């Protein structure tokens, strides 16, 4: 059935007359006829192939669900294999480093003798004038953690004195050593006496920001500096306040405040920049170490290392002696 020109003209005449020529049923028939013509001309006719395609899609969707499950299981298995291989590699690496460090500790043991350490570093081309180390207070300071920390400071101080390193700075984040400066100084001095003897012990000077300096009256020996996380922040705040007051009082101008001035003031307030920094952790963790103090510092860390050991100390000195420093202008 087609919608003829006569039907179109009849519908227009009825519309012009205000829908008075045709009744409601006749108009409804014309609208239905027009809708059928539009569907036949512009909409595709449903076919059996489309219905069959829909069935195929349903079947594919069911199969796709199984494929997704199999893929997920395959990926999980692949992840477990990679994880197992990586875990095995980590364990082998830890075991290798533990065995090698133990062998080096046995072969290169210092036997609390300065002569052995002097012999180990004699072949090195250069030694740092200022060595810095990072130590950690274990277990939050409970139990024997403080005693262990002081013993580690004393041990490294003896190594530095035997190797001929004049300055040692010890960074401990909490600053607990500053509250026990007298005990720390006594412990280090006793360790040096054990190593060098009563009459050959090098003098020890102990420094800490905000605390009284313990300085011997004899010749220059080993300088031990205690540094904590608050030193860098407090030094920056104090220096900023002092420079601001001096500018306000017209003692200096803003142009006089240069990077060299700030660097010198911070160095005098806390310490000079170390040549070598040793982290005894299994990874590099500065723990809030003042960043302005290690701009050109050589940092050494050994993977999988556990605790303070002479083998890591000697390895760091060898790496420093072989390092090449290229400073830009």
268 pLDDT higher than 90: no
Instruction: Supply the pLDDT for residue 63.
Output: 55
95 pLDDT higher than 70: yes
Q: What is the pLDDT of residues 293-318, one digit of tens each?
A: 788 899 999 888 888 989 899 999 99
Mean pLDDT lowest among 14-28, 112-126, 226-240: 14-28
**pLDDT range class, residue 54, cuts 50, 70, 90:** low
**pLDDT range class, residue 138, cuts 50, 70, 90:** confident
User: 297: buried, middle or exposed (CB in 10 Å: 19+, 13-18, 0-12)?
Assistant: middle
Higher-confidence residue of 40 and 149: namely: 149
Instruction: Supply the pLDDT for residue 130.
Output: 95
Instruction: Supply the pLDDT for residue 61.
Output: 54
Q: Which two tokens stand for residue 224?
A: 């031990």
Tokens 């059996």 label which residue?
Answer: 48
Q: What percent of the chain has pLDDT over 70?
A: 83
Q: What is the pLDDT of residues 157-208, one digit of tens each?
A: 999 999 999 999 999 998 899 989 999 999 999 999 999 988 788 999 999 9
Quick one: CA dihedral 263, 264, 269, 272, positive or negative? positive
Residue 206, beta-bridge partner list: 214, 224
Instruction: Supply the pLDDT for residue 39.
Output: 59
Q: What is the DSSP string of 244-284?
A: HHHHHTTSS-GGG--HHHHHHHHHHHT-PPPSEEEE-SSS-
Per-residue pLDDT, averaged over 117-132, amounts to 93
How many other C-beta atoms are found inside a 10 Å radius of the C-beta of residue 63?
Answer: 10
Rg value, the chain, Cα: 41
User: 241: buried, middle or exposed (CB in 10 Å: 19+, 13-18, 0-12)?
Assistant: exposed
Instruction: Supply the pLDDT for residue 109.
Output: 79
Q: How far apart, in whole angstroms, are the C-alpha atoms of residue 185 and residue 202?
A: 13
Per-residue pLDDT, averaged over 237-261, amounts to 85
Quote the mean pLDDT of the chain.
83
Per-residue pLDDT, averaged over 309-329, amounts to 85
Tell me the CA distances in angstroms from 153 to 18, 146, 172, 246, one per residue in order. Answer: 108, 11, 10, 39
Tell me the CA distances in angstroms from 55 to 44, 62, 65, 69, one per residue in order. Answer: 19, 11, 16, 22
Tokens 């407090």 label which residue?
Answer: 234
Instruction: Supply the pLDDT for residue 45.
Output: 58
Q: How far apart, in whole angstroms, are the C-alpha atoms of residue 215 and residue 205?
A: 4
Mean pLDDT lowest among 96-110, 147-161, 183-197: 96-110
User: What domains are defined for the chain?
Assistant: 5-42 (no CATH), 114-322 (3.40.1180.10)
Tokens 């028939």 label which residue?
Answer: 29
């Amino acid at each position: 059935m087609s919608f003829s020109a006569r039907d179109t003209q009849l519908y227009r005449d009825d519309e012009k007359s205000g829908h008075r020529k045709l009744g409601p049923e006749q108009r409804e028939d014309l609208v239905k006829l027009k809708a059928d013509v539009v569907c036949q001309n512009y909409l595709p006719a449903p076919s059996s192939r489309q219905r069959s395609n829909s069935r195929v899609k349903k079947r594919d969707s069911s199969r796709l669900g199984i494929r997704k499950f199999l893929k997920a299981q395959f990926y999980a298995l692949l992840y477990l294999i990679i994880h197992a291989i990586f875990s095995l590699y980590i364990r082998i690496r830890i075991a290798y480093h533990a065995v090698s460090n133990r062998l080096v500790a046995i072969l290169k043991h210092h036997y609390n003798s300065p002569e052995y350490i002097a012999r180990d570093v004699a072949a090195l081309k250069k030694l740092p004038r200022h060595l810095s180390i990072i130590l950690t207070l274990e277990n939050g300071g409970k139990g024997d953690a403080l005693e262990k920390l002081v013993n580690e400071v004393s041990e490294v101080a003896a190594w530095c004195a035997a190797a001929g390193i004049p300055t040692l700075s010890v960074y401990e984040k909490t600053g607990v050593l500053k509250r026990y400066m007298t005990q720390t100084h006594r412990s280090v001095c006793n360790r040096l006496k054990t190593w060098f003897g009563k009459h050959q012990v090098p003098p020890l000077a102990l420094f800490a920001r905000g605390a009284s300096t313990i300085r011997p009256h004899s010749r220059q020996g080993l300088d031990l500096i205690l540094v904590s996380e608050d030193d860098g922040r407090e030094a920056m705040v104090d220096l900023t306040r002092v420079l601001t007051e001096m500018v306000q009082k017209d003692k200096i101008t803003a142009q006089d405040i240069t990077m060299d001035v700030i660097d010198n003031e911070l160095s005098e307030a806390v310490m000079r920049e170390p040549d070598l920094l040793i982290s005894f952790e299994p990874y590099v963790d500065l723990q809030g170490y003042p960043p302005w103090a290690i701009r050109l510092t050589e940092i050494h860390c050994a993977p999988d290392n556990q605790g303070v050991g002479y083998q890591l100390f000697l390895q760091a000195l060898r790496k420093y002696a072989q390092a090449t420093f290229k400073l830009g202008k």
